[in-house]
Amino acid sequence: MLNNTWSEYLTIRLVILFLHSLAPLCTVYTLTLLRRAFFARRFSQPVFTTPFQLYCAAETTFFAFTLWYRGRLQREAVHPPLRSKEDRKKLFDKVRSEIHDPQKFLQGWFRGAKIEEIGREDLREFLSWAFFEARTDDESEGELEALVGKVEKMMGSSFKPGKGGAKSLRLTLDPIEIQWRSLLWYGIIMLVDTIVHVRFLVYGFGYRSTRGGSLSVFPPRPLPAVTMAVGKRSPAEGISYWVKRHTSTTRLPVVYIHGIGVGLHPYVEFLHEVDRATNHGHDAKDQVGIICIEVLQISSRLTHSMLTRADFLAQTTKILNHEQGYNRFVLISHSYGSVFSTHMLTDDTMSKRVAATLLVDPVTMILHMPDVAYNFTIRKPTTANEWQLWYFASKDPGVAHTLGRHFFWSENILWRDRIAHLVENGIRVTASLARRDLIVDTEAVGAYLMEKKVLDPVVVKEGNGKTKMELSVNEKDGREDEDWKVRKWKGKGLEVLWWDDLDHAQVFDNKDDRRKLVEVVREYCTNE
């Protein structure tokens, strides 16, 4: 993630301007050539004769496809099965128990609107999405009305009838907003993907491709296609991965799941350093294995839709059963990868296989609060890192579709009492949090994990129209009690690694910072 300097700000704005303007400019040029050919009646001769003209024609064709594809992404989400009435009540009661000020909570989910701008019908629509995935029927109307009444009781007043002027955040229902990508951009992604593939092969990893391989992904993946032809296939039909064979009988292997971005490029050195730290000096019969799962839907690619929670768990189980020695393992994830970690940790069968977990920049804690959804999808960018997040992550077609049609908050949230249950059953948990994180309010997450009370979402409005969603912590507990930030890491129970000078994902940029994460992984692998 970029720092907030003027040079980086100007650079990212110029890069975005170039990439975003390229396809429209090529389209204008191509249409001009076609217009000239039409009026000159020269269609018997080639219209595009130079490499540059051919390139512009290709960009124009892809731009037209992108505009069509943007409309296709708007199709309705396929929601998970509805919870039972009893489970919905438990979920509502759980959320209510985590809220101190319901007024600020609602204002956060309604994009900072004033309470008087929220009508009763607006509240019904929000609650219908939050607890029924907007699938209420005649039988559940009474239940929904009861929830509205409970909210009004929490508020101490009734909402005005009908609709107000406020609009709530409803990720899986709201229109998906994307920014088109040029062929040049996807060409860069293909180059980066090829470099990553070579680096992993040099570091001794093996690739396991799905049956569809590179044929179901754009841009094409030439090296994975070759590897698929001569190598082994993934036992899971929808998940490709990198693997180093596990042979140790005394130490645990590692499973890694990456976050949103350009794929595995930012993590190659980290995984290589984990490999060296755990295996240097050990013979071939005492090697710690590593599985690194690819999630192409959040890797600046065009491919099939994100797997459902059930499909992900089923296919990951196939992989773990297929590879030797993964009955117990150390789970590591970064950013959006914490969604998949949450799926594994909240599944009673899968969680029994997890001995310890390192969650780097996790986004699934306190997910019932609106700050992550707001900062990732609604906030208008003003700084270098915000523009980087906005264009290269939030508005990427695959990422936007994943968040807008496959991100179900109640399925992805990791409650603290679930973490406490896991720790009581022997799983060690470390959360790595960066103070300057532009997506997650890490101060609040750290306080939440260390049993301080997280309270209210607050839309912070600054000059030049800049807004950010933050959370506040109970004044009685106070943020001044921050000894958890400087506690020595011991490798026991639930712990936090705090990075005071880092932003989201920057812990992977520097070898000295990565070293601390590597030490955590080595300890978890060595001493169960």
The ranges assigned to domains in the chain are 6-72, 86-155, 183-526
pLDDT, the chain, mean: 91
Residue 290 backbone dihedrals phi, psi, to 5 degrees = -135, 130
- Residue 527 pLDDT class (50, 70, 90 cuts): confident
Cβ neighbour number for residue 382 with a 10 Å cutoff: 17
Place of tokens 């921050």: 482
pLDDT tens, residue by residue, 414-446: 999 999 999 999 999 999 999 999 999 999 999
Q: What share of the chain is helix, strand, coil (3-state, %, to 5)?
A: 50, 10, 40
Q: Do the beta carbons of residue 428 and residue 524 sit within 8 Å? A: yes
pLDDT tens, residue by residue, 243-258: 999 999 999 999 999 9
Stretch 391-419: mean pLDDT, rounded?
95
State residue 224's pLDDT score: 75
pLDDT tens, residue by residue, 268-286: 999 999 999 999 999 999 9
Strands (E), 206-247: 206-209, 232-233, 241-244
> Greater confidence, 415 or 471?
415
pLDDT at residue 466 greater than cutoff 60: no
State residue 267's pLDDT score: 98
Give percent above pLDDT 70 in the chain: 92
Rounded CA gap, 251 and 143, in Å? 51
- Residue 360 pLDDT class (50, 70, 90 cuts): very high
Cβ neighbour number for residue 264 with a 10 Å cutoff: 23
Between vectors from CA 299 to CA 13 and to CA 192, what angle results, nearest 5°? Answer: 75
pLDDT at residue 231 greater than cutoff 80: no
Stretch 165-170: mean pLDDT, rounded?
92
Q: How many CA atoms lie within 13 A of 241 on its CB side?
A: 26
State residue 212's pLDDT score: 67
Q: What three-state secondary structure class fits 206?
A: strand
pLDDT at residue 477 greater than cutoff 50: no
State residue 455's pLDDT score: 44
Stretch 301-323: mean pLDDT, rounded?
96
State residue 419's pLDDT score: 96
Of 87-91, 100-104, 362-366, the range with the lowest mean pLDDT is 100-104
pLDDT at residue 109 greater than cutoff 70: yes
State residue 42's pLDDT score: 63
The tokens for 23 are 């396809």
What does the H/E/C string look like for 356-423?
A: EEEEECCCCCCCCCCHHHHHHHCCCCCCHHHHHHHHHHHCCHHHHHHHHHCCCHHHHCCCHHHHHHHH
Residue 275 burial (CB < 10 Å; 0-12/13-18/19+)? buried
pTM (2 d.p.) = 0.92
Rounded CA gap, 358 and 330, in Å? 8
Pick the CATH number of 183-526 from 3.40.720.10, 3.40.50.300, 3.40.920.10, 3.40.50.1820: 3.40.50.1820
State residue 452's pLDDT score: 62
